[in-house]
Chains A and B, each alone.
Chain A
Amino acid sequence: MTTVPELDPVIHAQARLRVVASLAALSQGDRMAFPRVQQLLDMTAGNLSTHLRKLEDAGYVEVTKTHERRTPVTYLALTRRGRTAFEDYAAALRTLLTTDGSETAR
């Protein structure tokens, strides 16, 4: 009876889960500048870049490079696919919680 849902390996790593969760907290159609995301995650730029590459490769995060007042700015946003993947992941976690008797919600 009890089926253990498959957990998406791309956002399974704790750091990437935090990146995706942060971007999912934005309104749909919004994007956030790289330094702001970095500050909200307390990550180094290098560390964040590494995780972003994996998320971008999976088609979950869209990275836009642009210029504002001649300064280069990088914006990050969750793609539709990334948002769906995050919602599925959270749903899978909740299923695991309810199907596994030894776990209790928070």
Chain B
Amino acid sequence: MTERLDGGDLSPAESLALIEQQQGRVERTLGPNIVLLYGTWGAAWFLGFAMLYLAYRGALPLVVGGLVFAGLLLAAIVVTGVHSARATRGVRGVSSEVGAMYGWGWLLGFGCVGAIFAGLGRVGITDEQSALLGPALSLLVVGLLYLGGGALWRDRVQYGLGVWILATDAVSMFAGVPGNYLVLSIAGGGGFLLAAAWFAVRRRVVAP
């Protein structure tokens, strides 16, 4: 016996498929494009830290390496900001409050790193010390915020990346200068790029 829904022309299976299709569309449109975001940050870290490594090895002027590094990070910040704003455009409520609180966490964290450096500069810090501490403190903030974000949104990949970033950060401290930049480039940037690649493959497999 096939139950036709009174008054409607959809079978239960068709109605359920319609619900799934519509909700999938909403989630895809409003959710972040993980491949884009992890890919962008992976490329920025991979190339940026590689430039710093090469600059410290004398392959190019330190100013050039620093400027390229800063430019890549700035570009990644802009991509992330624009993408998040566009994806969540027109949505208000609990999730935008959570997102704003989390977003401020980044600003406050890096503000604090800046203040620590300003304070260290006053008491005196060598170039080698600042070359080690700069990325180490920044990645501590990044790693912890990834842990927090992963826990907040119950995103195991994000949490796992947080663990990976902290582990990379810890290992880089023992590679010395400029070896730490090579570790951050390959393991740090590479970690993001691997995560992006994994999501890109999975998306292709899942998509019809």
Binding site for B on A (CB under 8 A): 4, 7, 9, 12-14, 17-18, 21-22, 24-33, 35-36, 40-41, 75, 77, 90, 93-94, 96-97, 100-106
B6 to chain A, nearest CB (A): 7
Minimal beta-carbon separation of A65 from chain B (angstroms):
13
Do the beta carbons of B91 and A30 come within 8 Å of each other?
yes
Known: A32-B90, A100-B2. 5 other contacts (CB 8 A): A9-B7, A25-B22, A36-B91, A75-B92, A102-B1
| CB-contact partner of A100 in B1, B10, B17, B90, under 8 A | B1
The 6 closest A-B pairs by CB, nearest first: A36-B90, A33-B90, A29-B94, A30-B93, A25-B26, A96-B12
Q: How many A-B residue pairs have CB under 8 A?
A: 101
A contact face: mostly helix, strand, loop, or mixed:
mixed
The chain A residue sitting closest to B6, CB to CB, is A7
Whether the Cβ atoms of B22 and A94 lie closer than 8 Å is: no
B91 x A33 contact (CB < 8 A): yes
Which B residues are closer than 8 A to A by beta carbons? Answer: 1-3, 5-13, 15-19, 22-23, 25-27, 29-30, 89-96
Residues on the A chain within 8 Å of B23, using CB: 21-22, 24-25
Q: Quote the shortest CB–CB distance from A12 to chain B (angstroms).
A: 6
Query: Which residues of chain B come closer than 8 Å to A33, judged between CB atoms?
Result: 89-92
B29-A103 in contact (CB<8A): no
Q: Which residue of chain B has the shortest Cβ distance to A97 in the bound complex?
A: B12
B9 CB contacts on chain A under 8 angstroms: 14
* Contacting pair A7 B92 (CB below 8 A): no
A38 to B27, CA, bound (A): 15
